[in-house]
Amino acid sequence: MLVLAGFELADADCAWVVELARRLAVTPEDCVRRLMDPLPSYLPPAQPTQVHRHDGRFTSLRLAGRLGSLTALPNLAPLTGLAWLDVRGTTLDRLDLGAARSVEVLHASDTPLTALTLPAAPSPFRWLEVQRTRLKSLDLSPYLFLECLGWEGAPLESVHACDLTARWLPELRDPPLAGLVTTRQATAAELHDFAEHFNYDDDLDMLGWVVSHPACDLGTALLAYWRCDPAGVRCSEEEHLRPLRDLLGLVEARVAAGAYATAACPYDPVADGFGDGHMDEPGIPAAVRRCVP
């Protein structure tokens, strides 16, 4: 049994620590104590090592400055609750997170990394920092919800991404990185997932790009339409609602033109709450007053 921060580690997480301790040539107890030590002064603060109090699984691992001369980690697949990983300032030259599907955040700056495999899809991965590494390529294509990419000081030569991510993430739109990006087309399911989780306080131009995408499904377009609250927005002339009115007009025009080739992504405006009581309003075109499929 190993205890970290007063909580007993789950068996799989405990076994992972035992393997890490073996590679570091320390006892498992010493390894646990090392995980809880303060960060070296040359590293900025980050998420501390934490364990979920109910199931004893790691939720975050702060390995920065604690791995000695280790160049690779034990397989992270058993750490099924791990969301945050910090390996800054280590000597890791390769890192495989392919089976670590719960990881959302990776801090890996100031390392000699030359090989990095990110979590396999589906994945909630959203934050990547690889500044001052030796990485020459990144495959970001599975990740629709990236919020941050820190890469300054890395000798990147190529970045592969979904066209949705390339449009959404500022770092991929701006030079010099934009010139290194190759894209694949988002699928209808990916566009629907993005629209479903979109914050309507964000830039609505992005949502306009989604509903104009050649792979966009009718169900996705209707989801975007009804979540703009057409019943309320249509009867208002307030200037701050203009972007919503523009988006409504865009979807109405594309639906009327038969621009959506598929109708496979399920959407019911009444069940979603936005169409409830508004499905017969004359100001809303009949073509958008429907469910998919």
Structure confidence at residue 36 as a pLDDT band (50, 70, 90): confident
What does the mean pLDDT of the chain come to?
Answer: 91
DSSP for 34-86, written as a single string: HHHSPPPTTS---PPPEE-TTT--EEEEE-TT-STT--SPPP-TT-TT--EEE
283 CA to centre of own chain? 37
Fold type of domain 3-184 = 3.80.10
Is the CA virtual torsion 244, 280, 276, 195 positive or negative? negative
Structure tokens at 51: 């364990």
What is the per-residue pLDDT for 235? 65
Domain spans, the chain: 3-184, 189-288
- Decide: helix, strand or coil at residue 201: coil
Question: Residue 40: is its pLDDT beyond 80?
Answer: no
Structure confidence at residue 42 as a pLDDT band (50, 70, 90): low
Q: Which residue has the higher pLDDT, 208 or 46?
A: 208
> How does pLDDT run across 100-109, given as a tens digit for each residue?
999 999 999 9
> How does pLDDT run across 195-226, given as a tens digit for each residue?
999 988 888 899 999 999 999 999 999 999 99
> How does pLDDT run across 92-102, given as a tens digit for each residue?
999 999 999 99
DSSP for 142-195, written as a single string: T-S---EEE-TTS---EEEEEHHHHHH-HHHHSTTGGGGEEEEPPPHHHHHHHH
DSSP run (H or E) holding 129: strand 127-129
Q: Which amino acid is at 86?
A: D
Strands 7-8 and 3-4: antiparallel
